Amino acid sequence: MAAGGLSRSERKAAERVRRLREEQQRERLRQVSRILRKAAAERSAEEGRLLAESEDLVTELQGRSRRREGLKRRQEEATSIPDYRGPNGVWTLLQKGRSVSAADLSEAEPTLTHMSIARLHEQKLVQHVVSQNCDGLHLRSGLPRTAISELHGNMYIEVCTACTPNREYVRVFDVTERTALHRHQTGRACHKCGAQLRDTIVHFGERGTLGQPLNWEAATQAASKADTILCLGSSLKVLKKYPRLWCMTKPPSRRPKLYIVNLQWTPKDDWAALKLHGKCDDVMQLLMDELGLEIPPYSRWQDPIFSLATPLRAGEEGSHSRKSLCRSREEPPPGDRGSPLSSAPVLGGWFGRGCAKRTKRKKVL
């Protein structure tokens, strides 16, 4: 007799019985699965009895089906919504030398959501905007620099890190043409000290250390004081890793209320006081109507980027080949390619953007 009281032959017999039961269970599972794929009207009486006798298997298979459908839906949604730093994002494709299927980035303009957010800031209903996007549309909407944290950089800004404090150069063209992961020099030099300029983009695998335009300090300060956080159009897959933005050191009862507007599932859905599966522009239009606030149209003539931009110096005109912004779509850039237009006073536009996390205080929703 072996340890445990069973002989070798008895153990082998028990193992055969166990395997037989497992095979019978798998066959039963396959049968039930085939029946469930049929429409109810097409099932025979015998198949109906088998389903009734297999409630546990039916429940298990239906749960698997719901999970598969949910995963498929989230993947489809994620594929249809362009991002910047994901596997098929704008910056990722550009780094690989592939063309971007979306419209030329220089043609992008602040959206209805951009305009709404900036108007809410004007009304002191929004205190700070935290953006994952690099398109510079928050800046171009008219939001003050102090109210924006562009955590992954701004495609229109290059900086000299040799100067103290860092010297910024706002351009009217995409400065990232020659840059990539761990390679940030733009090919132009600082007008003050002559050091090489670098872009401000934070790629996957990098840690953003620039003070501006990342503005981390202002983002965390705003988050610590906020009583409401509104997330618009962000998957939050990256932002979820920044606990300071969510006040995780505070007890749950003292954390800001979280509201999410997104077509996709996000890892923060279960934490949200409200999750709306909708388009940001649609939701913000309803919100602005409810608040009785007008959403002014965007005007390129009032775009702050033209007054903020630093002109290229003589000899730098050929340092890029990206299309330059124009005050009017019909107006060609004057002079050499890449030279910014003469600036004019910005009269003020109140614009916002629907693809970023926002930190807000009081009277929101």
Max mean pLDDT among 38-42, 118-122, 340-344 falls in 118-122
Active site residues: 152
Q: Binning pLDDT at 50, 70 and 90, where does residue 261 land?
A: very high
Q: Which two tokens stand for residue 346?
A: 């910005």
190 is in an annotated binding site: yes
**pLDDT tens digits, 173-199:** 999 989 988 899 999 999 999 999 999
355 is in an annotated binding site: no
pLDDT of residue 205: 79
What is the torsional sign of CA 280, 286, 291, 296? Answer: positive
Average pLDDT of the chain?
A: 80
247 is in an annotated binding site: no
**pLDDT tens digits, 48-107:** 888 888 888 888 888 888 877 766 655 444 444 445 555 556 555 655 656 554 445 667
Residue 29 has pLDDT above 60, yes or no: yes
Residue 335 has pLDDT above 50, yes or no: no
Calculate ∠ Cα 337-339-344, nearest 5°: 140
- Average pLDDT over every residue of 204-226: 89
134 is in an annotated binding site: no
Calculate ∠ Cα 275-365-258, nearest 5°: 45
0.75 exceeded by the pTM?
A: no
Residue 114 has pLDDT above 70, yes or no: yes
pLDDT of residue 65: 83
Rounded alpha-carbon distances, angstroms, from residue 55 to 25, 171, 335: 13, 65, 76
